[in-house]
Amino acid sequence: MKVLRRNGETVEIGFEEKEGQKAFWHTSAHVLAQAVKRLYPETKCGVGPAIENGFYYDFAFSFSFAEEHLRAVEAQMKKIVRESLSLQVSRVSRQEAEDYMREQGEDYKLELIRELPETEAISFFKQGEYVEFCAGPHISNTSHIKAIKLLSVAGAYWKGQEGNKMLTRIYGISFPKASLLEEHLHMLEEARLRDHRKLGRELGLFMLAEEGPGFPFLLPRGVILKNLLLDYWRRLHSREGYLEISTPVMLNRKLWEISGHWEHYREAMYTSVIDDVEYAIKPMSCPGGMLVYQQEPHSYRELPLRMAELGLVHRNEKSGQLHGLMRVRAFTQDDAHIFMTQEQVVGEIQRVAELIDEVYQRFGFSYHVELSTQPENSIGSAEEWELATRALRNAMDALELPYSVNEGDGAFYGPKLDFHLKDSIGRTWQCGTIQLDFQLPRRFGAEYIGADGKTHRPVMIHRVLFGSIERFIGILIEHYAGKFPVWLSPVQVKLLPVSDKYLPYARGVLEKLSDRGIRAELDTRDEKLGYKIREARMDRVPYMIIVGEKEQESGTVSVRLRDAEAGRQERGEMAPEALAEEILALSGAHS
């Protein structure tokens, strides 16, 4: 597939590569705009970028555009594709670009052009009668697009700012093969069925309320699930020699100025005033971790010093970006900060990478790693950035762990390795990260006494495994479709008495299981057994045990499984003690 860049260069890039996908979906967005302009010439165009899975375009229609209009637009897009239009790129002056968009009546495009640097030449891409100014890249011909599907319509404020006009955003997806579209649509249907917002409500895990947009409420079963994850996290960190700390949720402005967050992250922070002093609620825990490190002197013999924190953080996310547990304003971050000598850097990075690998394998995730390099808005010297980036590369190379490079997307204080896990239906999620930081130790004046008796500055790693605990729960809900493995299930056993007559025996079984640490619930409702079984299945409980006259007389329980075992869901009768041993063995093997 030939890809056309804005400088006129044409290169051969496969669709499976990131730039190839960006070019493919960016061109598809242009095809969408061309189709809309053909059908509704009075429409004004906003922006139309490629996104992670597909593309969208924002339009200002002169009428109320709705889902029922998508079919006509999609048909017109397919017609454009069949016309096999080649794309040409040209570079024009700012004045020429403004004149063209003014003539076309494209007010939004004109506004974007006026915001560009005056000295910058502007690239225009043309396909047939449609001309669009953008940076590219694009595929060389629309005929490469073999399958298109428009997915949905949504509202979107111009430039994402709530005070601006609401535009109509059309989302779509396209592929070079029809089979890829079929696979994607199947994945979307699976994702719909697994939606953690729906399952979270049905399974009693969490709730969202209008009184706190972006501030999720964990329900009793959700708290059990969270605590199971945190217990697992604590066992790992104790084994790996981490010291757990806890730092305040709110600290004063001076601290955030020293760390650089006030300058580089201020818009995402909530603030308050106490005794005429400005404070910020922490969006991350690292400055507090620095204060803990500095509260006493350190020797090289203590390094590496690994400090971990389950910190409640708050970030001012825009309301339009909130999404269940995946994008929230308050969450628990499983942060850790490692202070070390320069000689220890590569080894510590490797150790963290191996820990992340262990965690993701435990939950059945595969993953890929992305190295993000120095952004434009950064602090520190070029030499420090080069040193930090090379250390990350060396650690990955020594582990023989492949990675891609994401230029310019590092944290403002240092480069990072991001771990993108893949769930059971093929979607990727960025969770774990390793960030190498020379800047915060310098800005805070952190020191240790070396073997030479002199003071030295430590290097710092920021890292998370789960990322946001709440977001990780959302990912797990969708990954397992609510059918958590036995060790992670908030309710492992549901006891279903045939009638009230057998409740005393059922309570005795419940007590035996609970005494062994099994998470069991007793259904005491006056309902038919078949109804209770269906309800337990809807709750995705791994084990359903039935107690009636036969079981009471023999001192056993009849076991049914959530998931069929060798084609059978009924396991038959078991002693409660044997069932407990089986569940504990499964939990011990996987927790």
Catalytic positions are 286, 315, 333, 335, 337, 416, 462
- What values do phi and psi take at 423, rounded to 5? -90, -175
Instruction: Kindly state the helix (H) or strand (E) to which residue 243 belongs, with its residue range.
Output: strand 243-245
Q: List C-alpha distances in Å: 380 to 98, 273, 341.
A: 38, 31, 18
Distance of CA 135 to the CA centre of its chain: 27
**Tokens of residue 587, six digits:** 């939990």
Provide DSSP, 153-195.
EEEEEGGG-TTSPEEEEEEEEEESSHHHHHHHHHHHHHHHHH-
Contacts of 375 (CB under 8 A, 6+ apart): 408, 409, 410, 411, 412
User: CA 131 to CA 135: how far, in whole Å?
Assistant: 13
Nearest to 124 by CA among 85, 84, 86, 92: 92
Angle, alpha carbons 267-269-270 (nearest 5°): 120
Query: How many angstroms separate the CA atoms of 202 and 524, rounded?
Result: 19
DSSP one-letter code for 327: B
Distance of CA 119 to the CA centre of its chain: 38
Counting every residue written for the chain, the total comes to 591
Measured CA to CA in angstroms, residue 152 lies from 54, 66, 76, 82, 426 at distances of 12, 9, 16, 23, 21
Cβ–Cβ under 8 Å, residues 65 and 39: no
Q: What is the three-state SS of 55-67?
A: EEEEEECCCCCCH
Q: What angle do CA 233, 236, 242 make, to 5 degrees?
A: 95
Amino acid at 272: S
- In three-state secondary structure terms, 5 is coil
Residues 65 and 168 sit within 8 Å (Cβ to Cβ): yes
HSE (side-chain half, CA atoms, 13 Å) at 514: 11
Instruction: Name the amino acid, one letter, at 433.
Output: T
Greatest extent of the chain over all pairs of C-alpha atoms, in Å: 92
Cα 80 from Cα 5, distance rounded (Å): 21
| Under 8 Å between Cβ of 370 and 403 | yes
- Whole-angstrom distance, CA of residue 131 vs CA of residue 271: 45
Residue environment code for 140-161, b if the CB has 16+ CB neighbours within 10 A, otherwise e: bbbebbebbbbbebeebbbbee
